[in-house]
Amino acid sequence: MNKLNKFLIIASASIIGLSSCTKYSDQLPTIAGIAVSNPAFSTLKGAAIQGGVAVTLSNKNPNDAGGNFTVFAPTNDAFARLGLTDAGTLGVLQNSFLTNTLLYHVSNGNLPGSSITNGGSSASALTIPRKFIFRGTDKYINGSKILATDVMASNGTVHVIDKVLLGTGVNIVASAQLLSNAQVFKSPELTFLVEAVVYSGLAPTLSDPNNNFTIYAPTDAAFKAAGFATPAAIRTLTQAQVQSILLNHAVGTGRFTSELNGTTATTAGGGTLTFGPFTNGVYTIKSNGITTPANMVIPDILCSNGVVHLIDKILLP
């Protein structure tokens, strides 16, 4: 019996030992683990799965000597600004665009919050750069406010942001065509605007790498609200009329919302735009030809020759 008792004690201790070795609280999660374990990143988790980067962000970065990534992680609220309220809604996006957009949030190596400097930039895994902007006491990457820095992972660093970073890597016209050709959303967008740009003859200007603009881009819904039933209906106006209207949507030098400086700007057409206050990452835009200002629908899309903000109204001169 003594031997038996001894055996049973050892046996039970060994089983309890199996459970005791399941405490790993001293280990850091990976970046993928952070996204999966934090409810504030549930849409990002869904995006990482659908975009095929969950396994990548579970592992060491093969493109960095230290094996690290830095990820600017959009919260659920950040995705919700784009109408992406849960993993299911990500189906409105083309998968290739989703994957590229996720990679735009990733860079090689550790970039600690302390290394972020005003006016600095950082190359993404998509190669398209991101710009750091300090505004008051807030820090931004492009137009996205950095809500928290330096969440440490075993394979890098996570900073939390309030807007999804959007970068196309191509010029303004080509970027608009990505949307109108349904290469971003599965449903075409900016089809009226692309038609207007082509018809007006402004496409060469807006695709010129030597030019740089902030473009306020009215959505298809904005054109419909203004009475255009189809993109072709724009051709009922003269080319000069369309050109004049479009030039009232362009301001010299591309700026993110976080770089809003002043309350007015002169457009490429010589008109004046009046801006509302910068609130929650957006501001309103009013032109002389409209009574209520336009709101931003999707701000801060970085193109190779400027920044595009989608708006809900045409800015008539």
Site residues for another protein per CB under 8 A: 1, 4, 7-8, 11-12, 14-16, 18-30, 32-33, 36-37, 39, 42, 45-46, 49-50, 54-55, 58-60, 86-91, 154-155
Nearest to 147 by CA among 167, 163, 166: 163
* Structural tokens at position 272: 């004046």
What's the min distance (Å) between Cβ of 39 and another protein?
Answer: 7
Shortest distance, position 178 Cβ to another protein, whole Å: 20
Q: Which is nearer to another protein, 183 or 304 (CB)?
A: 183
Distance CA 215, CA 300 (A): 10
Report the C-alpha gap between 41 and 71 in whole angstroms. Answer: 13
Q: Smallest distance, Å, CB 70 to another protein?
A: 17
Nearer to another protein, 24 or 136 (CB): 24
- State the nearest-atom distance from the C-beta of 75 to another protein, in Å: 16
| Least CB distance to another protein at residue 158 (A) | 14
Compare residues 54 and 234 and give the one whose CB is closer to another protein: 54
Distance (Å, whole) CA 210 – CA 305: 7
185: left (phi over 0), alpha (psi -120 to 50) or beta: beta
Look at residue 267 and give its three-state secondary structure: strand
- Pick 90 or 301: Cβ nearer another protein: 90
Q: Which is nearer to another protein, 32 or 176 (CB)?
A: 32
Q: Kindly provide the residue ranges of all beta strands, DSSP E only, lying in the chain, ordered along the sequence.
A: 69-74, 106-108, 121-123, 129-135, 138-141, 144-153, 156-161, 166-167, 213-218, 250-252, 264-266, 272-275, 285-287, 296-303, 306-311
